Amino acid sequence: MGFQDSMPDFSATKIVKEFTTGGQQLRILDGVNVELDRGQNLAIVGPSGSGKSTFLHLAGTLDRPTSGSISLLATDVSKLTEKQLPAFRNEQVGFVFQEHHLLPQLTALENVLLPTLATGKSSQTQNDRAQELLEQVGLRDRVHHLPAALSGGERQRVAVARALINEPVLLLADEPTGSLDQENADKIGQLLLDLQAASNAILICVTHSDRLAQRFGQHVRLQNGKFVRD
């Protein structure tokens, strides 16, 4: 309780993002606003090129907006220096991309543990947590498999476990089901929702699937640089 009750755990306020390429300036995001508290989730749909990935990159501090502000747990991320950002991102944000981006020479378990290397927490604790997460995503018997020895859906589940290993407050997923068949896509989508609820995190998920989007507490369409409530 206290004055921070009025401040959402995540907010993006009046976000504008412009890209200049070959002298031509394009305004991709034109005043995007969203507020989410822990435990809430949001699905973003919208046509190719509408700026969905661009928004996730800004939300995850991988890029900075042209104007507007992003705040996470009362931290205005625009105030963080280039030196502070990587540690902040590593601790507070988990990413799941369309392609799993697992390192091929590392096992499932080692891939999940990668983001913990920089945190300085005890490796036994981390190891236990990684095992537990792999179990939660249904891979208890695949812990020591290399990515090449996993199916597409299994690889994506390893990527989900990896995104959660540092207990991020913000979980960002960019078409995490894009390369999967319908059945596996639905499973990954539901898995993300379940893990987000269990960890009381915020989940923002870009998807092409209206069916998946309907399962989220909130869904918006990115259109002409703005979020339109579906």
Ligand X SMILES: Nc1ncnc2c1ncn2[C@@H]1O[C@H](COP(=O)(O)OP(=O)(O)OP(=O)(O)O)[C@@H](O)[C@H]1O
The residue among 40 and 53 lying less far from Mg ion, judged by its C-beta, is 53
Report the site for ligand X in 7-66 (rule: CB under 6 A): 19, 21, 28, 46, 48-54
Q: What is the number of the residue whose Cβ is closest to Mg ion?
A: 53
The residue among 133 and 180 lying less far from Mg ion, judged by its C-beta, is 180
Q: In the numeric block, which tokens belong to residue 71?
A: 């705040």
The interface region with Mg ion, picked from 45-53, 61-69, 115-123, 130-138 by CB under 5 A, is 45-53
Rounded distance between C-alpha atoms, residue 179 and residue 15, angstroms: 29
* End-to-end CA, the chain: 32
Q: Is residue 54 within the footprint of Mg ion (CB under 5 A)?
A: no
Adjacency order of strands within the sheet including 218-223: 93-96, 170-174, 202-206, 41-45, 218-223, 226-229
Q: Are strands 218-223 and 41-45 parallel, antiparallel or unpaired?
A: parallel
Q: Is residue 53 within the footprint of Mg ion (CB under 5 A)?
A: yes
Give min distance, CB of 19 to ligand X, in A. Answer: 3
Residue 176 corresponds to which amino acid? Answer: P
Give min distance, CB of 116 to ligand X, in A. Answer: 29
Q: Vertex 204, ends 130 and 20: CA angle to 5°?
A: 115
Number of residues that bind Mg ion (CB under 5 A): 1
Give min distance, CB of 20 to ligand X, in A. Answer: 7
Q: In the numeric block, which tokens belong to residue 63?
A: 């890029």
Which chain residues interact with Mg ion by CB under 5 A? 53
Binding site for ligand X (CB under 6 A): 19, 21, 28, 46, 48-54
